[in-house]
A and B are shown apart, each in its own frame.
Chain A
Amino acid sequence: MVQTGSRTVTVLIGFFLATVALLMVLPFINVIAVSFSSSRAIVSNEVTLWPVEFNLRTYQNLYRDGNLIRSLQNSVILTVGGTLLNMVATTLIAFPLSRPGLRGRKVFLGMIIFTMLFSGGIIPTYVLVQQLGLLNTFWAVWLTALVSTWNFFIMKTFFSTIPASLTEAAAIDGANDVYILVRIILPLSLPAIATLTLFYAVGHWNSYFNVMLYITRSRLHTVMVVLVQMIRSVDPQLLETAADATELTRFMTPEGVQAAAIVIATVPIMLVYPFLQKYFVKGVMIGSLKQ
């Protein structure tokens, strides 16, 4: 946008924003530097933005310990399986409810909107999962968050923007709704599918509360749960009991281990970041059009 006004203001604003942006990323750079530094350098507080006495020992030990590797495997299984289920379920409910003539549509939509306003809360949901015998399985995490109401609305809005003439022509030729969904709607919805897949996948990868809530067996813990346990038990300055400290923290500087775990847990997100940015911005736009 072309604006009148002095150049000085523009430069000052640019400088201020650049500083803010820099402050937002410097912490990551510091953590990366710490993860590649020696224990001695970390403890004597010498590391700023570049590794001191560069070495890979922390990573090697983390690899050898195996706990973190297993938690990464769990994260991958949880994310891939969960995202697949999310996408199938979201499509199956969004498509019928995007058809204007469907009987009972308003009632279904009303009931879905109401779940955004009121919920039973953590405990009743937990008790239900317990009664269904799903504790300590990934199914507990997958099923209790099968459809995000927000993503459902994005999908439904996208489907309803597809011109009705396309589906009507197929219907006249005798195609049923399954055929219409698979052959006509889905191929035209690839941008929405990509967006929501990323929304769901990032959500699964990053969240730790549901896993911590439903899965107490440590062999099934994801990388984020392991990380949180490390964080909450690591700092000797804090009074937290070290009871749930992992094996890892015994033979290395806790700060170094934690930094390396943070870097490892973040790598997958950074790999998809270019796509994330593109599709997430689109998703926010679709979502903000309606609802």
Chain B
Amino acid sequence: MSVTTTQIVGLSRERRRAKLRQDLYRDRYLYAMMLPVFIGFFVLFRYVPMYGVTIAFRNYRIIDGMFGSPWVGTRHFERLFRSPEFVLILRNTLLLNLYQLIFQFPAPIILALLLNEVPKPGFKRTLQSVMYVPYFLSWAVLGGIIISLLSPSTGIVNAIIQSLGFEPIFFMMSTRWWPVVFIVSGIWNSAGWGTIIYLAAISGIDPQLYEAVRIDGANRLRQTWHITLPGIRGTIAILLILNLGRFIDLGFEQVWVLQNPAVRSVAEVIPTYVYRIGLQAMQYSYTAALGLFQSLIGLALVLTANWTIRAMGEEGLF
């Protein structure tokens, strides 16, 4: 590639044009393969909706279409930023994400460090196989299981609580307990699966490093602290950016299945609000404004996180 480029630089304009035509003709089958997918999917279903965010500045009506509805400027944004609900859902979105970052993000790291201490490969593999299971199940299934386990009347958790002599707890309806259920269910779903990438990173650490500190008399905790953790620092950093980049984008499916009207004050987040108000109540332009707000914050977060990681001396994502 670099050789042909330097060759081309020295050529005249016509020769370069001729080379371009020649290359395009040589790769005609390749373009014939990819262009239908590129245009039919990436352009149509990714880039056209990006232009479609302009409906946030229009009064969208189905008859007028995405490009024909009348412009109304920033009216929807003004309404959005003034509404008390906006403050509430933004706060809920950020809080739930913050809890995830504090409790859910470290869970696979801790599990991986512990799994690394299991000497028998067979036992370790069995533990992993079991821990991966919840990752492969739908949130419809996981949510159903959680709600039935926690049911105050027929759930096994409350049966245990009552047998210990306490009052049953209405987990799903309590604004205090709901975020706890949300985070624990998130850990249940993905912590086991999340260990894969950390275990791979751990297995890439040079065994001689352990040998060296062991000679210095380091015990297992110190080995973990001085060798294993620094060894997987890069992996942790990369996964942290990925997480921060999604900071404002809570998974719709998990929230929706666990949500109910009694806990809306802590459980309503941007995507569920967009779905409820935008699609069920058909306020397209208003919620498109909220969606655009979310996308822009999301973009800023990924770029900031990537820049931070690079400044720390790790390899960024792009």
Contact = CB atoms under 8 A, between A and B. Distances in A.
Interface in B204-233: 207, 210, 214, 219-220, 223
Given A123-B288, A235-B151, A237-B152, A99 B197 contact: no
A43 interface: yes
B275 A128 contact: no
Contacts of B42: 111-112, 115, 147
Q: Chain B interface residue count: which class?
A: 35 or more
Interface stretch (B78-86, B90-98, B142-150): B142-150
Contact of B137 (A89, A119, A125, A269): A269
Nearest to B152: A237
A67 interface: no
A188 interface: no
B136 A5 contact: no
Q: Chain A interface residue count: which class?
A: 35 or more
Interface of A: 1-5, 9-10, 13-14, 16-18, 20-22, 24-25, 27-28, 30-31, 34, 42-43, 45, 47-48, 89, 92-93, 95-97, 99-103, 108, 111-113, 115, 117-128, 130-131, 143-144, 146-147, 176-178, 181, 202, 205-209, 213, 224-225, 227-228, 230-232, 234-235, 237-240, 255, 258-259, 261-262, 265-266, 269, 273, 276-277, 280-281, 284-285, 288, 291
Given A97-B34, A205-B138, A213 B20 contact: no
Contacts of B134: 24
16 contacts: A17-B118, A24-B134, A45-B156, A92-B33, A93-B33, A118-B50, A121-B295, A122-B271, A124-B55, A124-B66, A127-B284, A177-B33, A178-B33, A231-B143, A266-B141, A285-B200
B183 interface: no
Nearest to A284: B196
Contact of A99 (B30, B111, B271): B30
Interface of B: 1, 4, 20, 23-24, 27, 29-31, 33-34, 36-38, 40-42, 44-53, 55, 60, 62, 65-66, 111, 114-119, 123, 126-127, 129-134, 136-141, 143-149, 151-156, 159, 170, 172-173, 188, 192, 196-197, 200, 207, 210, 214, 219-220, 223, 245, 252-253, 256-257, 259-262, 271, 274-275, 278-279, 284, 287-288, 291-292, 294-296, 298-299, 302-303, 317-318
